[in-house]
Amino acid sequence: MRNLLRTVTGLFTNMHIRSKLLISYFILIFLPLALMTSFSYKNVSRNYEKQILHSADQSFDQAYTFLSYKVNTLIKASDVIYFNADVQAILTRDKRAFEDDYVQQNIDRQKLEYFLNSFQNAEDVYRASLYVPGWLMYAGQNFNFFDMDAFSHTGSYRALLASKDKVSWLPEHAITNNNTNLDPVPVISLVRKIRNSEQTTEIIGIIELNILKGLIEEILQKANITNDGVVYIQNANGDIVSCSNTDNYHRIDPNRALIQDAQDDDGASWNKASIGSSDYVVKSRAVENTDWTMVTAIPLTEIFMQSIRIRDLMLLLMLVCGLLSYGLAYLITGATVKRILLLKKKMRLVQEGVLNVEVQSVIPDEIGELTDSFNHMVKRIRLLVEEQYQNGKEIKNLELKALQAQINPHFLYNTLELINWKAIDNGVPEIAVISQSLAKFYKLSLNKGKDIVSVEDEINHIRAYVQIQNLRFDNKIKLDVRIDPELYGRDILKLILQPLVENSIIHGILEARDSEGGTIAITGCLEMNEIVLTVKDDGVGMPAEQAGRLLASGNANDEVQGYGIRNINHRIKLCYGQEYGLAYRSSPGSGTTVEIRIPNRFR
C-alpha cells in the first residue's frame, strides 16, 4: 500500500502543472458535487419517508377514530335496546297466554318496530333487527324481526353463545333493501344476546344492528394515501371484514403472522416487512370492542419513488454542472499555463546569459506581477553587471584609502609615545601621564574601527578619560566603579558611557559653586537577562521636566548636551531595538542618574 501511494505521489509530483491543475479541479468539482448529491438524496429520502409515514399515520389514526366511533355508536344503540323495558316485557311474555292473542302480538310488533326504526339512519345504523321466539306471529317477517329458533341451528348462533364478549360481529352478508325487497345490500352486523333481566341465564332474544359495508370501505379508502398500498380489517379468524382495494390486497397477500408481529407494539410505530419479493412498511391496531384488526401496508418502492426521481434529477444536474465547470477550468488553466510557459522560456534565456529579454504583461494578476518582477530583476541584473564593471576600476583606490586610514592612527600613537619619552627625558612627569592617558583613550576609542567592545574595555576607556580630566581640574573628579565581574565579558556599543560621564563632569559637578569636587558612580548588574548600567553624579542636578526633555528630538535647550545624549540613545535603539535605551532621573541639588538598558550578549 505504501509503495502504491509513493508511486502515485511520484507520478503526480512529476506531472506538468496543467495536468496537476486539471486533476485537482476534477477532484474539487466532482467530489463535492458527488458528496452533496449523496447527502441531499439521503436527506430528501429520509424526509420524504417521514412525510409519507406521517401522512399515513394521520390518515390511519383518523380512520381508526372514525371506525371506533361507528363501532361505539352500534354498541350504545344495542345498550339502549337491551335495557329497554318494553323489549324485556314483550320478549318474556308467557307463550300459553299470548300465543293466540294476535291483537296483543300486533300491538307489540308495532311498538317494537317503532322503537327499532328510531335507531335507523343511513350513516350509522342501517337497520336494527331482533331475533324473537318462533311462536310469535311476526317472527318470520325477516325484516325487523327474525325467528330465533331457526337462527339457533346456525354456526353464527353457536359462536355467539360461546363468546364471552359483550357483542359479536358477523362477517359480511347481504340483507334486503329498506325500500324494495329485491335489491340486496352488503352489511356488517353486530349481534348481542338479550338476557332475561330477572333470570340472567335465560336468553330471550338477540339484537342485530347492521352498518353498510360501503361506509366501512369508504373509511378505509380515505386512510389509504398511496396507489399500491392497502388498508383492510381482518377478524380473529383471519377473514377480511373490509378492504380499501381488493386487487392490491390479493397482490400483496399479507399473512396473519406478519400482522401479529406488527401488532405487538400496539400500533405505535411502523414495521418493515418482506411480503413475497417486495418490502413494505406495515402498521396495525386492534379495534376496541371487536375482534377486528385494522391494518395498512405501504410498499417501500412507492415511498422512495419521488426521492428516486429527485436523485436522478440531481445526478443529471451534477453531471451537467460538473462538465461545464470542468470545461471552463480547462480553458482557464490553458490560458494561465501558456503565460507561465512563456515566462519559463524567457528565464531559460537569462540562465544562458541573455540579459536583453523582456516579457510583455497586460493582465494585473499574480502572474502579471511575477512577470513585472522578472522584467525588473533582469534590468537590475544588467545594472549590477555594469556597476560591477565600474566598481572593479575603483577597487585599487579604495584599498589605498583603507591603508591610509590604518596608517593615521599609528601615526597618532607614535606621536603621543614620542611626547611621553620627551617628557620623561626632560623631567616633566605630568606631561608623560597626560600623553599615556591620551594614547590609551584614543586607542580604546578607535578600537581598530570596531563598533562593539567589551564592558571591561568601555570602563577602561572611562578611567583614562577621568584621569585626563583630573589632570585638568586638579583631581576634583572621583570615579567609583562597581560593576559585576560577570559583565566584563559582555558586548556593548563603544562610546556610550564617555559622553554621559562628560556631562556629569561639565554640567553637574563643575557647575556647583564653591565645589571642591564630586563623585561619579558607575554600577552594573543583570536584570531579567538584560544589562543595566547606571551613571550617577552628585552635581547640581536639574528639574525633572528638563531631564525628561533631554531625550526628546528637537530640544533647543543646551543643544550640545542634548545632541550627545540623543545620539547615544538613538544608537542603542538602532542596534538593540526600541525597548532599550537611556532613562534620566534628576532633581535640583540631588545630582543626576542615567540608566542604560541593553540586552545581555557575550563577546
Structural Rg of the chain based on CA atoms: 59
pLDDT of residue 418: 57
Number of CB atoms found within 10 A of residue 571's CB: 16
Q: Which of 576, 570, 565 is nearest to 600 (CA)?
A: 576
pLDDT band at 553 (very low <50, low <70, confident <90, very high): low
Q: How far is CA 286 from CA 265, 266, 268, in A?
A: 11, 8, 12
404, pLDDT greater than 50: no
> What pTM does this model have?
0.50
From the centroid of its chain, how far is CA 201? 75
Provide mean pLDDT across the span 482-500. 87
Local confidence band at 379 (pLDDT 50, 70, 90 cut-offs): confident
Model confidence pLDDT, tens digit, residues 261-270: 545 545 567 8
pLDDT-derived band at 11, boundaries 50, 70, 90: low
- 29 compared with 568, residue with greater pLDDT: 568
What would the pLDDT profile of 205-250 be if each residue is shown by its tens digit?
999 999 999 899 999 998 888 888 899 998 888 888 889 888 888 8
Is the pLDDT at 430 greater than 60, yes or no?
yes
- How far apart CA 473 and CA 445 sit, in angstroms, is 22
Cα within 13 Å of Cα(25), Cβ side: 20
Cα separation, 134 vs 122, in Å, equals 29
Please name the residue that has the C-alpha cell 436523485: 311
Mean pLDDT of 153-159: 87
- The one-character DSSP state at 123 is S
User: Three-state secondary structure along 223-289?
Assistant: HCCCCCCEEEEECCCCCEEEECCHHHHHHHCCCHHHHHHHHCCCCCCCEEEEECCEEEEEEEEECCC
Domain chopping of the chain, boundaries: 51-302, 372-448, 450-599
- Which residues is 189 bridged to in the sheet? 170, 210
For the chain, how many residues are written?
Answer: 603
Per-residue model confidence (pLDDT) at position 350: 78
The CA-CA-CA angle for residues 56, 58, 61, to 5°, reads 105
Question: What's the distance, Cα to Cα, between the start and end of the chain in Å?
Answer: 55
Kindly report the number of other CB atoms within 10 A of residue 7's CB atom.
10
The neighbouring-strand residues paired with 592 are 537, 586
Cell, residue 545? 521636566
Helices (H) and strands (E) in the chain, counts: 18, 17
CA pair distance 320, 308, nearest whole angstrom: 18
> What pLDDT, on the 0 to 100 scale, is given for residue 145?
92
C-alpha cell at 451: 563598533
Q: What pairs with residue 597 in β-bridges? A: 532, 581
Q: Give CA–CA dist 220/232, Å, rounded.
A: 7
Please tell me the predicted confidence (pLDDT) of residue 475. Answer: 84
Residue 481, pLDDT score: 92
The string of DSSP letters for 143-157 reads SSEEEHHHHTTSHHH
pLDDT band at 399 (very low <50, low <70, confident <90, very high): very low
- State phi, psi for 93 to the nearest 5 degrees: -65, 150
Q: Tell whether the torsion through CA atoms of 62, 297, 231 and 256 is positive or negative.
A: negative
- In whole angstroms, what is the distance from residue 350 CA to residue 357 CA? 8
Q: Out of 250-264, 357-371, 437-451, 571-585, give the one with best mean pLDDT.
A: 571-585
Q: What is the SS3 string spanning 2-21?
A: HHHHHHHHHHHHCCCHHHHH
Q: What share of the chain is helix, strand, coil (3-state, %, to 5)?
A: 55, 20, 25
Cα 380 from chain centroid? 50
Residues above pLDDT 90, as percent of the chain: 20
pLDDT category of residue 396 using cuts at 50, 70 and 90: very low
pLDDT value of position 441: 66
Annotation: CATH topology of 450-599 = Heat Shock Protein 90 (3.30.565)
Q: Tell me: pLDDT of 515 over 70.
A: no
In sequence order, the 6+-apart residues with CB closer than 8 A to the CB of 450 are 494
Q: 255 with 163: CB under 8 angstroms?
A: no
pLDDT beyond 80 at 4: no
In terms of Cα–Cα distance, which of 296, 298, 299 is closest to 285?
A: 296
Mean pLDDT over 146-175 rounds to: 88
Q: Is the dihedral of CA 110, 112, 115, 121 positive or negative?
A: negative
Cell numbers that stand for 473 in this block? 581640574
pLDDT number for residue 405: 45
